[in-house]
């Protein structure tokens, strides 16, 4: 109530236009005084119904709500930063793993290329060896054919020469000698 009295007194003294009005100030005929009384009555009703306390309470609730929202926003921000850091770590791990996989794949590709090159060299060596064996075999076969052909021709020529020069007596002697030779070799 003391606040009301101080406020009323201050309001009355501050009302300089009210002092300029004609006639006594504290009269119901003076409109400034009536307005002042209405204003004071209005302020008294607001104080009686505890409107300033309610306004203060609402402002306090609002301030508390804002503080809670700020705290929640701070917590959400911290969670988001933690989550971001976690995702960044996971991304770094995944990137490192991908790098390791690529490096491993490159190493395997190099090893596979070296193995393929070695296999190719071995295959070429085998084919070259097989080709050389075939060439040697063909040469041996050709030499054998030439020898066989030469022997056949020589035998035919010798047969012709011997047949032309041999008599029956010489032929019988050759047969007897061949039979003896066969007999000695078999024993």
Task: Tell me the C-alpha to C-alpha distance, in Å, between residue 127 and each of 52, 119, 137, 139, 150.
Answer: 108, 12, 15, 18, 34
pLDDT at 179 over 80: yes
Question: What token pair was written down for 157?
Answer: 């020529």
pLDDT of amino acid 18: 47
Task: Name the residue ranges covered by the structural domains of the chain.
Answer: 2-90
* Residue 163 CB-half CA count within 13 A: 6
- Concatenated DSSP letters of 22-36: SS-SSSTT-HHHHHH
Task: Determine the pLDDT at residue 71.
Answer: 97
Which backbone phi and psi does 132 adopt, to 5 degrees?
-65, -40
Please state, for a pLDDT cut of 70, what percent of the chain lies above it: 87
pTM for the full predicted model: 0.39
pLDDT for position 156: 80
pLDDT band at 108 (very low <50, low <70, confident <90, very high): very high
| pLDDT per residue as tens digits for the range 9-36 | 665 555 555 454 566 787 878 889 899 9
Q: Is residue 100 predicted with pLDDT exceeding 80?
A: yes
What value does the mean pLDDT of the chain take?
A: 85
Determine contact, residues 19/25, Cβ cutoff 8 Å.
yes
**CA-to-CA separations, 115 to 110, 126, 174, in angstroms, rounded:** 8, 16, 70
Mean pLDDT of 140-145: 86
Distances (CA, A) of 116 to 55, 92, 107, 112, 124: 88, 35, 14, 6, 12
3-state secondary structure of 49: coil
Count Cβ neighbours within 10 Å for each residue of 161-172 and write b for 16 or more, e otherwise: eeeeeeeeeeee
Structural tokens at position 42: 């209005």
């Amino acid at each position: 109530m003391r606040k009301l009295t101080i406020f009323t007194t201050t309001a009355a003294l501050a009302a300089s236009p009210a002092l300029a009005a004609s006639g006594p100030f504290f009269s119901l005929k003076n409109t400034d005084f009536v307005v002042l009384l209405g204003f004071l009555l209005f302020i008294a009703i607001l104080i009686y119904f505890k409107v300033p306390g309610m306004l203060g309470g609402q402002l306090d609730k609002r301030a508390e709500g804002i503080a809670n929202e700020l705290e929640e926003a701070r917590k959400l921000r911290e969670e988001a930063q933690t989550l971001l850091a976690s995702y960044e770590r996971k991304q770094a791990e995944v990137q490192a793993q991908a790098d390791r996989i690529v490096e491993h794949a490159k190493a395997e590709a190099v090893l596979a290329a070296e193995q393929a090159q070695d296999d190719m060299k071995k295959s070429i060596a085998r084919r070259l060896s097989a080709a050389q064996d075939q060439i040697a075999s063909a040469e041996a076969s050709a030499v054998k054919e030439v020898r066989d052909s030469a022997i056949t021709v020589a035998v035919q020529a010798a047969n012709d020469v011997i047949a032309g020069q041999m008599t029956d007596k010489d032929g019988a002697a050759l047969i007897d000698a061949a039979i003896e030779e066969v007999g000695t070799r078999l024993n």
